[in-house]
Homo-oligomer: A and B are copies of this chain.
C-alpha cells in the first residue's frame, strides 16, 4: 500500500515520539528536529509505502541527532518486561482448549508493543482482558488448512518484546514438526527486533533467525538479498507480524497470513476494520 495524506501528520507524531526518546522533555531540541524535517517533506511522495516514508524520517533523525539507535534501551526493557510475564502467558496457553488459536491471539496481542505507532501501552492489562479483546480471526480456518500442508514456514517478526509473545506460537508450530525461519530487521529501526533482540527473546530455541539484507520498518522484497528473496518465495507458508510488514507486503505476489493490530485510520479504511482490532488477515494475490 502507498502512503496517503493522513500519513503526513502521523510522520510528525512519530518524529515527536522519537524526539522524546532522544531529548527527553527538551521541547526546543525536539522543535529543531521538527523544523528541520520540514525541508524534507518534498521527499515524501505518494509512491512510497508508509515504512519507506518512515525510513526517510528516521534516516533524517539519526543524521540530525547523531543517535544511531534511540530505542535500543527501551527495546531491551520491553523484552525483559514481557519475559517476566511468560509464566502467566504459559498458564493462559495451558488452560486453552485450542492452544494454536490462543498462541495466535497472544502473538497478535504482543503487537501492542509498538513505539512507532503509540507512546504507551499496558500489555499486562491486555493480557488480563484477553477474552474480551477485539479479535477478528476469520481466516483461522484457512490458516489451519495451510498449516497442515506446510513444512517450511517463514515468520516475519516485528517489534522487540512482541518477539517474546511470538515464542508461544513458534512452539505450537514446532510441536507440529514445522521447519521455522524467523526474519528480523537487518539493523535497528524504531523498536523493531534485530538479530540480537530475537536471540534475547528466546526465538533461537524454535527457529533459525535470518536477516533480510535491508533495513526498513517493514519488508520490501525488492530490496532484500537473493537468499532471502528465494526463501520468501519458496517457503510453504508465511506468517507476517505487525502493520509495517502489512504496509510493505500488502500488494505482493504471494499469499501471506498477516497478524497485527490495526493502528491507524489509513489501514483501518483499507481493510474496513476498526482501529484497535486484532486481526488474522489472509492475503491471497489472486483474490
Q: Does A5 contact B (CB under 8 A)?
A: yes
Contact A16 B27 (CB under 8 A): no
* A interface residue numbers (CB < 8 A to B): 4-6, 8-10, 12-13, 16, 19, 27-28, 30-31, 34-35, 37-42, 45-46
Number of copies: 2
Q: How far is the CB of A53 from chain B (nearest CB, A)?
A: 12
Q: Report the nearest B residue to A13, measured CB to CB.
A: B9
Q: Report the nearest B residue to A46, measured CB to CB.
A: B27
Q: Within 8 Å CB of A41, what residues of B?
A: 34-35, 37-38
Interface of A is mostly: helix
Given contacts A31-B46, A46-B31, contact A16 B12 (CB under 8 A): no
Contact B34 A8 (CB under 8 A): yes
4 pairs of A and B residues whose beta carbons are closest in the complex: A38-B38, A38-B41, A9-B9, A9-B12
Which residue from B5, B16, B19, B38 sits with its C-beta under 8 Å from A30? B5
Q: How far is the CB of A7 from chain B (nearest CB, A)?
A: 10
Q: Within 8 Å CB of A30, what residues of B?
A: 5
